[in-house]
Amino acid sequence: MSLTPTQQTTLLAVITANGTLNAQPLNADGDYAIAALLNGPPPSAFWVFNPAISIEALIGAFDATEFMTLTTAQIGLLTIIMGASTSSMDASVAQRRNQFINIFASCPTTKTNLGNLARRAATWIEQILSTGTGTTNSPATMGYVGQISLNDIAAVRGG
């Protein structure tokens, strides 16, 4: 995934301001070292909405006893949502999160399980390019998902 010009500017500011990143040589070895650090965990814990929760994981989060208490309307909405999902659900979509919250409003165990699925630990690059607080109770929304490439690092650093 290539970086946008705004993301490149943001990343360059972070690299320049961070002593460890900025100390790396301006060559392929330095780019590799920076990419390795950015693709790892951030300096402090940071949580983001999970953009790809598998349907199997969602089903596994449902408490069987609570599921049996759902109304026909709730099961109908859940069927539509699950049927519209190809292989995963993006928890960064607020409307989708709200639908699950409404369906399982009276199901505390299922809501807790779904909340745990809805967030994941971010990599450092994902943290840098995210919007939000990044706490367990208020995960951030990612502006960039995945690993940063050596080519992106080289482009940002002008190498």
92 DSSP 8-state letter: T
What band does 81 get if pLDDT is binned at 50, 70 and 90? confident
Total domains in the chain come to 2
Q: Are 13 and 5 in contact (CB under 8 A)?
A: no
Q: Which helix (H) or strand (E) holds 91?
A: none
**Dihedral (Cα; 132, 133, 138, 142), 10-degree rounding:** 40
Ranking 24-33, 87-96, 122-131 by mean pLDDT, the lowest is 87-96
Domain hosting 86: range is 51-117
What band does 11 get if pLDDT is binned at 50, 70 and 90? very high
- Specify whether 70 is located in the same domain as 108: yes
- Specify whether 103 is located in the same domain as 82: yes
Give the other-Cβ count within 10 Å of 40's Cβ: 11
- Specify whether 81 is located in the same domain as 109: yes
- Specify whether 56 is located in the same domain as 83: yes
Whose tokens are 């596994």? That residue is 60
Question: Residue 130 — φ and ψ, nearest 5°?
Answer: -105, 165
